[in-house]
Amino acid sequence: MILKISNKKIYEFIRFGTVGVVNTVLDLAVLNFLVYIFSVENSLIFSICKGISFIVAVINSYFMNKYFTFTKKETTNKSFYLFVIISLVGLVVNIVISSVSFYFLKLYPGAISINLIATVSGIIGALFSTFINYFSYSYFVFK
pLDDT value for 26: 95
What is the percentage of the chain residues whose pLDDT exceeds 70?
94
Mean pLDDT for the stretch of residues 96-102: 91
Global pTM reads 0.68
| Cα dihedral: 48, 89, 74, 30 (round 10) | 20
140 pLDDT exceeds 60?
yes
Q: pLDDT tens-digit profile of 21-31?
A: 999 899 999 99
**Range name among 41-50, 97-106, 109-118 with the lowest pLDDT average:** 109-118
Burial 105-133 (b: 16+ CB within 10 A, else e): bbeeeeeeebeebbbbbbebbbebbbeeb
| Cα dihedral: 102, 95, 53, 66 (round 10) | 140
pLDDT value for 1: 52
127 pLDDT exceeds 80?
yes
Mean pLDDT for the stretch of residues 38-49: 86
4 pLDDT exceeds 80?
no
What is the percentage of the chain residues whose pLDDT exceeds 90?
21
Q: Where are the domains of the chain?
A: 7-141
pLDDT value for 100: 93
